[in-house]
Amino acid sequence: MISFPKKNTKKYKKLRIIFAGTPDFAAQHLYALISSKHTVITVLTKPDHSSSRRQKNFFSPVKIIAKNHSIPLLQPISLNTLDIQEILRKLNADIMLVVAYGIILPNIILNLFPLGCINVHASLLPRWRGPAPIQWAILNGDKQTGISIIQMDQGIDTGKILYSTPCAITSNDTSASLEKKLILIGIKSMLIVLDRYNFNTNTYIIQNDINATYASKIKKEQGRLNWHTSAEKIERLIRAFNPYPISFFLIKNQFIKVWQANVCYGCNKNKKIGEIIICNKNGIQINTVNNILNITKLQIPGKKIISTLDFLNSKKKWFLPGTKLD
């Protein structure tokens, strides 16, 4: 007699979720969550960013999604106050889902919900814990990254791994293009983990701290091109800092932003480091400590991004062969 496995007859439960996130990476996950079987009961995002120059406030992408879908919104400066903790407790959520929120969750919040707090992180943990895993993976020349879903604990991205999926990094990937790929993987992974909670089938892996690396926050000044490093490293930096904060160099007291470049192999020993070798329609070639960097897309602040050819039509005298860049 043939026996068949019994179907899981457990009724699917719509989880009551508090979502916490801020940038577009998080907003795309929130939008997918709103379209899922589950219920987003409240959204947390960082306070509005103000611009003194333009005298206006800027809403985070997550806030815009929440407002467009009439979801209750909280924007606390910190989660360490009794007031916000009591508000969250009274919501009777099943779980808090955190994606690039930017505010540390205290221990009392981590233990406030029956299913705890889970985080969607853009790396294969324990590699690249921290706030800038996409940029650091490209900067380091990694061939692979991915998405990790973790059960949050008091450490920074140190929790148990509930689910992970790899993603290849190509030689042409920028932070912008890699983020788009990781968003798709992250959404799929997030929904798989939430379904597993429903049927109590989640498993986990404890992270190995010995293999951990940390992706510190990216600062604007790190984007300045240093010709005393190899062309390969400079090219990776240009891709890693695209679309933010954008790499740059100085010439004629102007900050020139660099959006695209490639490496020309072979070092010109007769030229100084940082010296312009060739300047034509194919790019601006600059000698580095190892190989030559060829810049193909750049931008003067306040102007649009243009090709080197268009740039040279008006600024060719800035980039004459033999010119030394700092």
Tell me the per-residue pLDDT of 114-162, one tens digit each, with 9 for 90 and over: 999 999 999 999 999 999 999 999 999 999 999 999 999 999 999 999 9
Q: Where are the domains of the chain?
A: 16-211, 220-319
**Residue % of the chain over a pLDDT of 70:** 94
pLDDT of residue 234: 98
Q: For residues 214 and 210, what is the distance between their CA atoms, to the nearest angstrom?
A: 12
Is 220-319 the same fold as 16-211? no
**Residue % of the chain over a pLDDT of 90:** 78
* Chain center to CA of 16: 26
CB 234 within 8 A of CB 225: yes
CATH superfamily of 16-211: Formyl transferase, N-terminal domain (3.40.50.170)
Residue 267: pLDDT band (50, 70, 90) is low
Average the pLDDT over each of 24-28, 104-108, 302-306 and give the range with the smallest value: 302-306
Tell me the per-residue pLDDT of 207-235, one tens digit each, with 9 for 90 and over: 999 999 999 999 999 999 999 999 999 99
* Both structure tokens of 197: 């909670």
Q: Taking the complete model, does pTM exceed 0.85, yes or no?
A: yes
Q: For residues 212 and 208, what is the distance between their CA atoms, to the nearest angstrom?
A: 7
The answer to whether residue 81 scores a pLDDT higher than 60 is yes
Tell me the per-residue pLDDT of 31-52, one tens digit each, with 9 for 90 and over: 999 999 999 999 999 999 876 5
Give the three-class secondary structure for 273: coil
Mean model confidence pLDDT for the chain: 92
CATH number of 220-319: 3.10.25.10
